[in-house]
Amino acid sequence: MNDHSPRTTGSRVPDDAPDDAPEEALYDALAAAPDDRIVYDLSGIERRYRRLRHELPDVAVRFALKACPVDEVIEHLARLGAGADAASPRELAQARRAGVPADLTHYGNTVKSDQDIADAHRLGIRTFATDNSEDLAAIAAHAPGARVYCRLATSGAGALWGLSHKFGCPPGDAVRLLTAAGDLGLVPAGLSVHVGSQQMTADAWSEALDLLATTLTELLRRGIAPDHINLGGGLPALGCLDRYGNPLDPPLDKIFAVLREGVGRLRRIHGGPLAFVMEPGRHLVADSGAVRARVVRLARRRAPDGRVRHWLYLSCGKFNGLYESDALQYRLRFPTHPGGERIPAVVAGPTCDSDDAWDHDDRALVAVPRALASGDPVWVLSSGAYATSYLTQGFNGFAPLPHSCVAGTGRTAADHR
């Protein structure tokens, strides 16, 4: 059984929060929220962005919109100088409306229709990802003269979500594609990798950088000199738990060290001007977002095998904000029950779908206050990544979460539903 209700000192901020955790304004907003919602702390997101730029000063940031397609977040990051990684014309249009310049925006999805490519081109997008010849030909036809970069396939080992099957190609195919790009009137502009979402090892980055080095060397041998390398996403959140409630504790300092060494190595191989970008999403927003939910019921149920368990049903589950609970746990805080007896429980959402629950394994049970009653508030911490992306339109009639944004001063933006 894992007790991950954060301990508290004199502040509302849990004392097991990440070092650059959101400010107290976030917890004040959760306490003041009159209904279920997700709250984002823009100051916390800014601090995470600034730390990333400090650790990797030679790498530009293109925020992965899919992790948090919230206008206020995108606008705030754009004001700090971040670009955008978008995966559809709708995301591209949102980035442009939020103030992200077209030249700091790329179409990072290798899966796109002819119409998608044409729409992106009309929006002023000139840089496209690719990993197959059919897509490359479509870019040439519908975005003539565009810049293309080829995504290399990685194993995805060490990540909570590997992303290893649907995207990317081997180095040899990448060389052939970028060679063909020039013949089609496109600019063979770069290479990219993605080591998987919530990547927990530095070794994965080492292996990806080796792939990039091998491919870049062969491209240069053929007279093709890309002008940029896209290091992709995968940088982890710091405040989430594994599926059994244990801290994930990613080796972030080691990951940054590997990336800095890799950037220097690739520049030495290239021998000329070579820019670098990354596509962080979860790393920037996960720990600066939290859901204010409610207890639906704390119930005691007997299973068909005779075992008796407690179940904590929350007003928020997989279909209205906590989709990623299939692979991780979120830290829970029970603000009206800071002490008292705790009991092990399975945590589940409110819908009549059996998948709408956290892991049922005994090792994954969460210690919750025995005194919980229907309607009590529950704060779901480090839930800022993908919570708004994966919302359904109202599965089983449970409404999508609205959102609010707060700054470090405690100011709260208007509600959005």
> Cα separation of 282 and 234, whole Å?
8
pLDDT on residue 65: 97
pLDDT on residue 414: 45
pLDDT on residue 326: 87
C-alpha distances in Å from residue 289, one per residue of 2, 264, 403, 412: 22, 34, 10, 14
Q: What is the DSSP letter of 14?
A: B
pLDDT on residue 15: 57
pLDDT on residue 163: 82
pLDDT on residue 400: 85
pTM, two decimal places = 0.92
Contacts for 331 with CB less than 8 Å, ≥ 6 apart? 4, 5, 6, 14, 16, 239, 240, 241, 380, 381, 382
- Which phi and psi (to 5°) does residue 385 adopt? -95, 125
* Helix axes 133-142 and 171-183, enclosed angle (nearest 10): 30
pLDDT on residue 398: 81
What domains, with CATH codes, occur in the chain?
Answer: 42-285 (3.20.20.10)
Q: Which residues of the chain have pLDDT under 70?
A: 1-23, 409-417
What token pair was written down for 51?
Answer: 């730390």
pLDDT on residue 347: 97
pLDDT on residue 412: 47
In sequence order, the β-bridge partners of residue 377 are: 294
pLDDT on residue 11: 45
Closest Cα partner for 284 from 100, 40, 47, 45? 45
